[in-house]
Protein backbone atom coordinates (compact mmCIF):
# COMPACT_ATOMS: atom_id res chain seq x y z
CA UNK A 1 0.00 0.00 0.00
CA UNK A 2 1.27 3.50 -0.83
CA UNK A 3 2.53 5.38 2.21
CA UNK A 4 0.48 8.44 3.03
CA UNK A 5 2.41 11.37 4.45
CA UNK A 6 1.59 14.82 5.70
CA UNK A 7 4.05 17.71 5.79
CA UNK A 8 3.21 20.44 8.26
CA UNK A 9 4.64 23.87 7.41
CA UNK A 10 5.28 24.75 3.76
CA UNK A 11 8.26 27.12 3.81
CA UNK A 12 11.55 26.30 2.05
CA UNK A 13 11.89 23.05 3.99
CA UNK A 14 8.28 21.86 4.01
CA UNK A 15 7.35 22.72 0.42
CA UNK A 16 10.50 20.98 -0.82
CA UNK A 17 10.03 17.95 1.42
CA UNK A 18 6.37 17.57 0.39
CA UNK A 19 7.15 17.81 -3.33
CA UNK A 20 10.15 15.46 -3.10
CA UNK A 21 8.28 12.82 -1.06
CA UNK A 22 5.55 12.87 -3.72
CA UNK A 23 8.31 12.53 -6.33
CA UNK A 24 9.33 9.30 -4.55
CA UNK A 25 5.80 8.05 -5.24
CA UNK A 26 3.98 8.70 -1.95
CA UNK A 27 0.63 10.38 -1.42
CA UNK A 28 1.46 13.65 0.28
CA UNK A 29 -0.65 16.38 1.82
CA UNK A 30 1.02 19.67 2.77
CA UNK A 31 -0.52 21.80 5.53
CA UNK A 32 -0.02 25.46 6.32
CA UNK A 33 -1.95 28.00 8.35
CA UNK A 34 -1.41 30.63 5.62
CA UNK A 35 -4.28 30.27 3.09
CA UNK A 36 -2.49 32.44 0.49
CA UNK A 37 0.55 30.15 0.52
CA UNK A 38 -1.65 27.06 0.27
CA UNK A 39 -3.53 28.52 -2.70
CA UNK A 40 -0.29 29.28 -4.58
CA UNK A 41 1.18 25.83 -3.90
CA UNK A 42 -2.07 24.07 -4.78
CA UNK A 43 -2.07 25.90 -8.12
CA UNK A 44 1.34 24.33 -8.83
CA UNK A 45 3.47 27.43 -8.16
CA UNK A 46 6.17 28.04 -5.54
CA UNK A 47 5.90 31.24 -3.44
CA UNK A 48 9.72 31.68 -3.28
CA UNK A 49 12.68 31.20 -5.61
CA UNK A 50 14.13 27.70 -5.51
CA UNK A 51 15.60 26.35 -8.77
CA UNK A 52 14.02 23.07 -9.89
CA UNK A 53 11.27 23.01 -7.26
CA UNK A 54 8.40 24.42 -9.40
CA UNK A 55 8.84 21.56 -11.89
CA UNK A 56 8.77 18.82 -9.20
CA UNK A 57 5.81 20.44 -7.46
CA UNK A 58 3.71 20.92 -10.61
CA UNK A 59 4.49 17.40 -11.85
CA UNK A 60 3.32 15.78 -8.63
CA UNK A 61 0.20 17.90 -8.25
CA UNK A 62 -0.75 16.98 -11.81
CA UNK A 63 -0.13 13.29 -11.02
CA UNK A 64 -2.56 13.57 -8.08
CA UNK A 65 0.01 12.55 -5.48
CA UNK A 66 0.43 15.98 -3.89
CA UNK A 67 -2.03 18.50 -2.52
CA UNK A 68 -2.09 21.32 -0.01
CA UNK A 69 -4.61 22.36 2.61
CA UNK A 70 -5.08 24.61 5.63
CA UNK A 71 -7.01 21.88 7.42
CA UNK A 72 -5.02 20.01 10.05
CA UNK A 73 -7.85 17.54 10.63
CA UNK A 74 -7.86 16.64 6.93
CA UNK A 75 -4.09 16.13 7.01
CA UNK A 76 -4.26 14.02 10.15
CA UNK A 77 -7.08 11.90 8.82
CA UNK A 78 -5.38 11.12 5.52
CA UNK A 79 -1.82 10.34 6.69
CA UNK A 80 0.03 7.96 9.00
CA UNK A 81 3.37 9.76 9.06
CA UNK A 82 3.55 13.49 9.72
CA UNK A 83 6.66 15.56 9.07
CA UNK A 84 6.93 18.74 11.16
CA UNK A 85 8.68 21.35 8.98
CA UNK A 86 7.70 24.63 10.67
CA UNK A 87 10.14 27.45 11.41
CA UNK A 88 12.13 27.88 14.61
CA UNK A 89 13.28 31.52 14.32
CA UNK A 90 15.40 33.39 16.84
CA UNK A 91 13.34 34.84 19.70
CA UNK A 92 13.23 38.61 19.50
CA UNK A 93 15.59 40.08 22.05
CA UNK A 94 17.18 36.72 22.94
CA UNK A 95 19.50 34.12 21.45
CA UNK A 96 17.21 31.15 22.05
CA UNK A 97 14.94 29.61 19.41
CA UNK A 98 11.23 30.41 19.33
CA UNK A 99 9.51 27.01 19.41
CA UNK A 100 5.94 28.25 19.33
CA UNK A 101 5.34 26.95 15.79
CA UNK A 102 6.60 23.46 16.67
CA UNK A 103 4.49 23.15 19.82
CA UNK A 104 1.52 24.91 18.19
CA UNK A 105 1.43 22.68 15.14
CA UNK A 106 1.74 19.47 17.15
CA UNK A 107 -0.99 20.66 19.52
CA UNK A 108 -3.27 21.31 16.55
CA UNK A 109 -2.43 17.94 15.00
CA UNK A 110 -2.69 15.69 18.08
CA UNK A 111 -6.48 15.57 18.56
CA UNK A 112 -6.95 14.33 14.98
CA UNK A 113 -4.16 11.73 14.86
CA UNK A 114 -4.99 8.21 13.71
CA UNK A 115 -3.97 5.28 15.92
CA UNK A 116 -0.28 4.46 15.63
CA UNK A 117 0.65 7.67 13.79
CA UNK A 118 4.31 8.68 13.63
CA UNK A 119 5.15 12.37 14.15
CA UNK A 120 8.58 13.11 12.65
CA UNK A 121 10.28 16.39 13.53
CA UNK A 122 12.46 17.92 10.83
CA UNK A 123 12.65 21.48 12.18
CA UNK A 124 15.93 22.52 13.85
CA UNK A 125 15.24 22.47 17.59
CA UNK A 126 17.18 22.78 20.86
CA UNK A 127 18.36 19.41 22.16
CA UNK A 128 15.72 17.91 24.45
CA UNK A 129 12.71 19.12 22.46
CA UNK A 130 11.83 15.70 20.99
CA UNK A 131 11.71 14.15 24.46
CA UNK A 132 9.32 16.86 25.71
CA UNK A 133 7.08 16.37 22.68
CA UNK A 134 7.09 12.60 23.22
CA UNK A 135 5.97 13.11 26.85
CA UNK A 136 3.14 15.39 25.73
CA UNK A 137 2.04 12.99 23.03
CA UNK A 138 2.06 10.07 25.47
CA UNK A 139 -0.60 11.91 27.49
CA UNK A 140 -2.82 13.05 24.64
CA UNK A 141 -2.36 10.42 21.91
CA UNK A 142 -0.87 7.34 23.60
CA UNK A 143 -0.61 5.18 20.47
CA UNK A 144 1.23 7.86 18.50
CA UNK A 145 5.01 8.17 18.47
CA UNK A 146 7.69 10.80 17.90
CA UNK A 147 10.88 10.55 15.83
CA UNK A 148 13.49 13.19 14.91
CA UNK A 149 14.88 13.41 11.38
CA UNK A 150 16.95 16.59 10.92
CA UNK A 151 17.15 18.22 7.52
CA UNK A 152 20.42 19.38 5.97
CA UNK A 153 19.17 20.95 2.73
CA UNK A 154 20.73 24.12 1.39
CA UNK A 155 18.61 26.79 -0.23
CA UNK A 156 19.35 26.90 -3.94
CA UNK A 157 20.00 23.12 -3.94
CA UNK A 158 16.94 22.07 -1.94
CA UNK A 159 15.57 19.48 -4.39
CA UNK A 160 18.93 17.80 -5.03
CA UNK A 161 19.77 17.82 -1.32
CA UNK A 162 16.42 16.16 -0.50
CA UNK A 163 16.49 13.52 -3.23
CA UNK A 164 20.25 12.86 -2.97
CA UNK A 165 21.24 13.74 0.60
CA UNK A 166 24.74 13.16 2.01
CA UNK A 167 23.15 11.16 4.82
CA UNK A 168 19.87 10.46 6.58
CA UNK A 169 19.73 10.70 10.36
CA UNK A 170 16.79 9.40 12.39
CA UNK A 171 16.43 9.68 16.15
CA UNK A 172 13.96 7.03 17.33
CA UNK A 173 12.79 5.21 20.44
CA UNK A 174 11.36 2.07 18.83
CA UNK A 175 12.08 -0.45 16.12
CA UNK A 176 8.70 0.36 14.59
CA UNK A 177 9.60 4.05 14.16
CA UNK A 178 12.93 3.07 12.59
CA UNK A 179 11.20 0.60 10.25
CA UNK A 180 8.64 3.18 9.12
CA UNK A 181 11.36 5.73 8.32
CA UNK A 182 13.43 3.07 6.52
CA UNK A 183 10.32 2.43 4.42
CA UNK A 184 9.84 6.14 3.65
CA UNK A 185 13.46 6.57 2.62
CA UNK A 186 13.86 3.15 0.94
CA UNK A 187 14.45 4.68 -2.54
CA UNK A 188 17.31 6.79 -1.12
CA UNK A 189 18.77 3.98 0.98
CA UNK A 190 18.78 1.90 -2.23
CA UNK A 191 21.08 4.60 -3.74
CA UNK A 192 23.51 3.94 -0.86
CA UNK A 193 22.68 7.09 1.09
CA UNK A 194 24.02 6.39 4.62
CA UNK A 195 21.13 5.86 7.10
CA UNK A 196 22.11 6.57 10.70
CA UNK A 197 19.86 5.54 13.58
CA UNK A 198 20.37 7.42 16.86
CA UNK A 199 18.55 8.42 20.02
CA UNK A 200 16.61 11.71 20.17
CA UNK A 201 19.29 14.04 21.59
CA UNK A 202 21.97 12.84 19.18
CA UNK A 203 19.71 13.40 16.16
CA UNK A 204 18.84 16.91 17.38
CA UNK A 205 22.49 17.72 18.03
CA UNK A 206 23.75 16.42 14.65
CA UNK A 207 21.98 19.29 12.93
CA UNK A 208 23.26 22.12 15.11
CA UNK A 209 26.74 20.59 15.29
CA UNK A 210 26.90 20.46 11.48
CA UNK A 211 25.76 24.08 11.12
CA UNK A 212 28.16 25.20 13.87
CA UNK A 213 31.04 23.51 12.06
CA UNK A 214 30.14 25.21 8.77
CA UNK A 215 29.79 28.61 10.48
CA UNK A 216 33.14 28.08 12.21
CA UNK A 217 34.82 27.20 8.93
CA UNK A 218 33.57 30.44 7.33
CA UNK A 219 34.57 32.55 10.33
CA UNK A 220 37.97 30.86 10.45
CA UNK A 221 38.74 31.86 6.89
CA UNK A 222 37.39 35.37 7.54
CA UNK A 223 39.67 35.69 10.57
CA UNK A 224 42.55 34.64 8.30
CA UNK A 225 41.38 37.33 5.84
CA UNK A 226 41.74 39.94 8.59
CA UNK A 227 45.29 38.74 9.23
CA UNK A 228 46.05 38.72 5.50
CA UNK A 229 44.88 42.31 5.22
CA UNK A 230 47.12 43.36 8.10
CA UNK A 231 50.09 41.46 6.65
CA UNK A 232 49.59 42.39 2.99
CA UNK A 233 48.85 38.76 2.03
CA UNK A 234 46.14 37.33 -0.24
CA UNK A 235 43.32 35.30 1.39
CA UNK A 236 42.16 33.70 -1.88
CA UNK A 237 45.60 32.16 -2.45
CA UNK A 238 45.87 31.16 1.20
CA UNK A 239 42.45 29.45 1.10
CA UNK A 240 43.31 27.61 -2.10
CA UNK A 241 46.60 26.43 -0.64
CA UNK A 242 45.20 25.12 2.66
CA UNK A 243 42.15 23.65 0.89
CA UNK A 244 44.30 21.11 -0.97
CA UNK A 245 44.86 19.36 2.36
CA UNK A 246 41.99 16.84 2.33
CA UNK A 247 41.71 17.13 6.10
CA UNK A 248 40.77 20.79 5.60
CA UNK A 249 39.02 20.66 2.20
CA UNK A 250 38.32 23.60 -0.10
CA UNK A 251 34.55 23.93 0.41
CA UNK A 252 33.13 26.63 2.70
CA UNK A 253 36.46 28.42 2.64
CA UNK A 254 35.31 31.47 0.66
CA UNK A 255 36.30 34.55 2.66
CA UNK A 256 34.21 37.67 2.39
CA UNK A 257 31.15 39.27 3.88
CA UNK A 258 30.32 36.14 5.86
CA UNK A 259 27.25 34.04 6.50
CA UNK A 260 23.63 35.04 6.85
CA UNK A 261 20.27 33.43 6.09
CA UNK A 262 17.58 31.73 8.11
CA UNK A 263 19.82 28.99 9.53
CA UNK A 264 23.50 29.46 10.40
CA UNK A 265 23.26 32.71 12.42
CA UNK A 266 20.21 31.78 14.46
CA UNK A 267 21.24 28.14 14.86
CA UNK A 268 24.61 28.93 16.45
CA UNK A 269 22.94 31.44 18.80
CA UNK A 270 20.19 29.01 19.81
CA UNK A 271 22.84 26.32 20.34
CA UNK A 272 24.79 28.59 22.70
CA UNK A 273 21.59 29.45 24.59
CA UNK A 274 20.64 25.78 24.96
CA UNK A 275 24.16 24.77 26.01
CA UNK A 276 23.88 27.33 28.81
CA UNK A 277 20.62 25.76 29.99
CA UNK A 278 22.09 22.26 30.16
CA UNK A 279 25.36 23.27 31.85
CA UNK A 280 27.63 23.11 28.79
CA UNK A 281 28.02 26.84 28.20
CA UNK A 282 31.83 26.82 28.24
CA UNK A 283 32.00 24.17 25.54
CA UNK A 284 30.39 26.55 23.05
CA UNK A 285 32.08 29.80 24.13
CA UNK A 286 33.99 29.73 20.81
CA UNK A 287 30.72 30.15 18.90
CA UNK A 288 30.37 33.64 20.34
CA UNK A 289 33.68 34.45 18.64
CA UNK A 290 32.46 32.81 15.42
CA UNK A 291 29.39 35.08 15.51
CA UNK A 292 31.51 38.17 16.27
CA UNK A 293 34.01 37.51 13.46
CA UNK A 294 31.07 37.07 11.11
CA UNK A 295 29.37 40.33 12.11
CA UNK A 296 32.72 42.15 11.96
CA UNK A 297 32.90 41.52 8.19
CA UNK A 298 29.82 43.71 7.80
CA UNK A 299 31.28 46.66 9.76
CA UNK A 300 34.63 46.21 8.04
CA UNK A 301 32.95 46.42 4.63
CA UNK A 302 31.09 49.58 5.62
CA UNK A 303 34.38 51.08 6.87
CA UNK A 304 36.20 50.22 3.64
CA UNK A 305 33.34 51.78 1.69
CA UNK A 306 33.49 54.98 3.73
CA UNK A 307 37.25 55.18 3.29
CA UNK A 308 36.88 54.78 -0.49
CA UNK A 309 34.56 57.81 -0.48
CA UNK A 310 37.03 59.98 1.43
CA UNK A 311 35.48 59.44 4.84
CA UNK A 312 31.81 60.29 4.24
CA UNK A 313 28.75 58.75 2.61
CA UNK A 314 26.77 61.99 2.66
CA UNK A 315 25.20 62.57 -0.74
CA UNK A 316 27.33 59.88 -2.43
CA UNK A 317 25.87 57.39 -4.93
CA UNK A 318 26.49 53.84 -3.74
CA UNK A 319 25.28 50.78 -5.65
CA UNK A 320 24.93 47.49 -3.81
CA UNK A 321 25.07 44.33 -5.94
CA UNK A 322 23.03 41.64 -4.20
CA UNK A 323 20.27 41.61 -1.61
CA UNK A 324 19.76 37.87 -1.02
CA UNK A 325 21.84 36.23 1.72
CA UNK A 326 23.49 34.11 -0.97
CA UNK A 327 23.15 33.58 -4.73
CA UNK A 328 20.41 31.31 -6.18
CA UNK A 329 18.02 32.36 -3.45
CA UNK A 330 15.49 35.15 -2.92
CA UNK A 331 15.81 34.79 0.85
CA UNK A 332 16.83 38.00 2.62
CA UNK A 333 16.66 36.74 6.21
CA UNK A 334 19.69 38.12 8.05
CA UNK A 335 21.19 39.10 4.71
CA UNK A 336 24.72 40.52 5.13
CA UNK A 337 24.24 42.50 1.90
CA UNK A 338 21.12 44.27 3.12
CA UNK A 339 22.66 44.96 6.53
CA UNK A 340 25.53 46.78 4.81
CA UNK A 341 23.17 48.62 2.43
CA UNK A 342 21.00 49.81 5.34
CA UNK A 343 24.04 50.97 7.34
CA UNK A 344 25.24 53.11 4.42
CA UNK A 345 21.76 54.54 3.87
CA UNK A 346 21.58 55.47 7.56
CA UNK A 347 24.96 57.18 7.22
CA UNK A 348 23.61 59.46 4.47
CA UNK A 349 24.49 57.59 1.26
CA UNK A 350 22.19 57.42 -1.77
CA UNK A 351 21.96 53.64 -1.93
CA UNK A 352 20.68 51.72 -4.94
CA UNK A 353 20.27 47.95 -4.54
CA UNK A 354 20.22 45.40 -7.37
CA UNK A 355 19.43 41.69 -7.12
CA UNK A 356 18.19 39.27 -9.79
CA UNK A 357 15.58 37.62 -7.56
CA UNK A 358 15.29 39.10 -4.08
CA UNK A 359 14.15 42.71 -4.62
CA UNK A 360 10.53 42.11 -3.63
CA UNK A 361 11.50 40.43 -0.36
CA UNK A 362 14.15 43.07 0.31
CA UNK A 363 11.66 45.91 -0.20
CA UNK A 364 9.37 44.34 2.38
CA UNK A 365 12.13 44.35 5.02
CA UNK A 366 13.89 47.61 4.07
CA UNK A 367 11.29 49.78 2.31
CA UNK A 368 13.49 52.89 2.47
CA UNK A 369 16.26 51.54 0.20
CA UNK A 370 16.02 52.19 -3.55
CA UNK A 371 15.72 49.07 -5.71
CA UNK A 372 16.60 48.89 -9.40
CA UNK A 373 15.90 45.83 -11.56
CA UNK A 374 18.21 46.59 -14.46
CA UNK A 375 21.89 45.99 -13.70
CA UNK A 376 23.39 48.55 -16.09
CA UNK A 377 20.90 51.15 -14.86
CA UNK A 378 21.75 50.36 -11.23
CA UNK A 379 25.44 50.91 -11.98
CA UNK A 380 25.10 53.96 -14.23
CA UNK A 381 25.64 56.76 -11.68
CA UNK A 382 27.53 54.84 -9.02
CA UNK A 383 30.57 56.42 -7.41
CA UNK A 384 31.08 53.29 -5.36
CA UNK A 385 29.92 49.74 -6.14
CA UNK A 386 29.77 47.08 -3.44
CA UNK A 387 29.67 43.46 -4.60
CA UNK A 388 27.92 41.76 -1.68
CA UNK A 389 26.13 38.65 -3.04
CA UNK A 390 27.99 36.63 -5.66
CA UNK A 391 25.34 36.07 -8.36
CA UNK A 392 27.04 34.70 -11.52
CA UNK A 393 25.79 37.62 -13.62
CA UNK A 394 27.94 40.04 -11.63
CA UNK A 395 31.06 38.10 -12.53
CA UNK A 396 29.92 37.93 -16.15
CA UNK A 397 29.17 41.66 -16.34
CA UNK A 398 31.49 43.64 -18.62
CA UNK A 399 32.36 46.98 -16.97
CA UNK A 400 33.49 48.51 -20.27
CA UNK A 401 29.79 48.70 -21.28
CA UNK A 402 29.36 51.42 -18.64
CA UNK A 403 31.57 53.75 -20.67
CA UNK A 404 34.04 56.19 -19.19
CA UNK A 405 33.15 58.38 -16.26
CA UNK A 406 34.42 61.91 -15.57
CA UNK A 407 35.12 60.98 -11.95
CA UNK A 408 36.97 58.23 -10.10
CA UNK A 409 34.84 55.12 -9.55
CA UNK A 410 35.43 52.56 -6.84
CA UNK A 411 34.56 48.88 -6.48
CA UNK A 412 34.67 46.85 -3.28
CA UNK A 413 34.39 43.13 -3.92
CA UNK A 414 33.25 41.75 -0.56
CA UNK A 415 32.84 38.23 -2.03
CA UNK A 416 36.23 37.97 -3.75
CA UNK A 417 34.69 36.77 -7.00
CA UNK A 418 35.16 39.60 -9.52
CA UNK A 419 38.22 39.93 -11.72
CA UNK A 420 40.37 42.83 -10.44
CA UNK A 421 42.24 43.10 -13.77
CA UNK A 422 39.05 43.59 -15.78
CA UNK A 423 37.63 46.27 -13.47
CA UNK A 424 40.93 48.10 -13.04
CA UNK A 425 41.39 48.11 -16.84
CA UNK A 426 38.04 49.92 -17.09
CA UNK A 427 39.21 52.69 -14.79
CA UNK A 428 37.83 51.46 -11.48
CA UNK A 429 39.72 51.18 -8.22
CA UNK A 430 39.33 47.63 -6.87
CA UNK A 431 39.41 46.60 -3.21
CA UNK A 432 38.59 43.19 -1.79
CA UNK A 433 38.44 41.76 1.72
CA UNK A 434 41.68 40.09 2.78
CA UNK A 435 43.66 40.94 -0.35
CA UNK A 436 46.41 43.43 -1.12
CA UNK A 437 45.16 46.85 -2.20
CA UNK A 438 46.95 46.97 -5.57
C1 LIG B 1 22.77 26.01 5.67
C2 LIG B 1 23.46 24.64 5.67
O3 LIG B 1 24.47 24.61 4.63
C4 LIG B 1 22.44 23.53 5.44
O5 LIG B 1 23.08 22.27 5.50
C6 LIG B 1 21.37 23.63 6.53
O7 LIG B 1 20.37 22.66 6.32
C8 LIG B 1 20.74 25.02 6.53
O9 LIG B 1 21.77 26.01 6.68
P10 LIG B 1 21.81 27.66 3.79
O11 LIG B 1 21.34 28.55 4.90
O12 LIG B 1 20.90 27.38 2.64
O13 LIG B 1 22.21 26.21 4.38
O14 LIG B 1 23.13 28.34 3.23
P15 LIG B 1 24.65 27.93 2.96
O16 LIG B 1 24.82 27.53 1.55
O17 LIG B 1 25.14 27.01 3.99
O18 LIG B 1 25.34 29.35 3.14
C19 LIG B 1 25.22 30.06 4.38
C20 LIG B 1 25.89 31.39 4.30
O21 LIG B 1 27.31 31.24 4.34
C22 LIG B 1 25.59 32.25 3.10
O23 LIG B 1 25.34 33.57 3.53
C24 LIG B 1 26.86 32.17 2.27
O25 LIG B 1 27.05 33.34 1.50
C26 LIG B 1 27.92 32.05 3.36
N27 LIG B 1 29.16 31.38 2.92
C28 LIG B 1 29.12 30.08 2.50
C29 LIG B 1 30.37 32.06 2.98
O30 LIG B 1 30.44 33.23 3.37
N31 LIG B 1 31.52 31.40 2.59
C32 LIG B 1 31.51 30.11 2.17
O33 LIG B 1 32.59 29.60 1.85
C34 LIG B 1 30.27 29.44 2.12
Render pLDDT for 118-149 as a digit per residue (tens, 0 to 9): 999 999 999 999 999 999 999 999 999 999 99
Average pLDDT over residues 186-194: 98
Q: Are residues 177 and 259 in the same domain?
A: no
List own/partner pairs for 425-431 with CB under 8 A and 24 or more apart: 426/399, 426/400, 426/402, 428/385, 428/399, 429/308, 431/304, 431/308
Let me know if residue 304 belongs to a domain: yes
Which one of 289, 309, 328 terminates a domain? 289
Let me know if residue 437 belongs to a domain: no
85 catalytic? Reply is no
C-alpha 217 to ligand 1 mean position (Å): 11
Q: Are residues 250 and 369 in the same domain?
A: no
Mean pLDDT score of the chain: 96
Pocket of ligand 1 (CB under 6 A): 151-155, 211, 214, 218, 252-254, 256, 258-261, 263-264, 325-326
Q: Are 26 and 3 in contact (CB under 8 A)?
A: yes
Instruction: Please say if the pLDDT value at position 404 is more than 80.
Output: no
Which one of 262, 289, 316 terminates a domain? 289
How far, in Å, CA of 102 to CA of 418, rounded?
Answer: 42
Average pLDDT over residues 156-164: 97
Q: Are residues 106 and 254 in the same domain?
A: no
Which pairing describes strands 317-321 and 350-354: parallel, antiparallel, or unpaired? parallel
Which one of 135, 170, 197 terminates a domain? 197
Let me know if residue 203 belongs to a domain: no
pTM: 0.96
Q: Are residues 109 and 175 in the same domain?
A: yes
Bridge partner list, 7: 30, 83
CA atoms within 13 A on the CB side of 297: 32
Instruction: Write out pLDDT tens, residues 70-79.
Output: 999 999 898 9
C-alpha 215 to ligand 1 mean position (Å): 8
Distances (CA, A) of 67 to 5, 62, 211, 243: 11, 9, 31, 45
> Residue 368 belongs to what domain range?
292-432
Give the total number of structural domains in the chain: 3
CATH of the domain at 192: 3.40.50.720
Q: Are residues 165 and 245 in the same domain?
A: no
Q: Is the CA virtual torsion 46, 13, 19, 75 positive or negative?
A: negative
Instruction: Write out pLDDT tens, residues 248-296.
Output: 999 999 999 999 999 999 999 999 999 999 999 999 999 999 999 999 9
Let me know if residue 58 belongs to a domain: yes
How far, in Å, CA of 264 to CA of 124, rounded?
Answer: 11
**Residue 408: pLDDT band with limits 50, 70, 90:** confident
Q: Are residues 23 and 140 in the same domain?
A: yes
Q: Are residues 143 and 105 in the same domain?
A: yes
Pocket test for ligand 1, best of 154, 329, 331, 335 (most atoms within 8 A of CB): 154
Let me know if residue 313 belongs to a domain: yes
How far, in Å, CA of 251 to CA of 229, rounded?
Answer: 22
Which pairing describes strands 118-121 and 81-84: parallel, antiparallel, or unpaired? parallel
Amino acid sequence: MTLRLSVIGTGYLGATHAACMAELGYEVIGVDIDPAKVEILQSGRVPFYEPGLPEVLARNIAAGRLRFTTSMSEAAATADIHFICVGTPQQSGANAADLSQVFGSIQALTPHLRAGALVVGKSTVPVGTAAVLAEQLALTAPTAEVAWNPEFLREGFAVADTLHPDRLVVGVRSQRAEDLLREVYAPLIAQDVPFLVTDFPTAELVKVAANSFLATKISFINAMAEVCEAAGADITQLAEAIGYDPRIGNRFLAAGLGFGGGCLPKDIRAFMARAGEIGAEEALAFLREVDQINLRQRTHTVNLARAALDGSFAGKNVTVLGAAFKPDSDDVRDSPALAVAAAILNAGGNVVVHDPKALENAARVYPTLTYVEDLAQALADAELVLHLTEWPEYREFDPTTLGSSPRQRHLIDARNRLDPLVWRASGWTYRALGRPTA
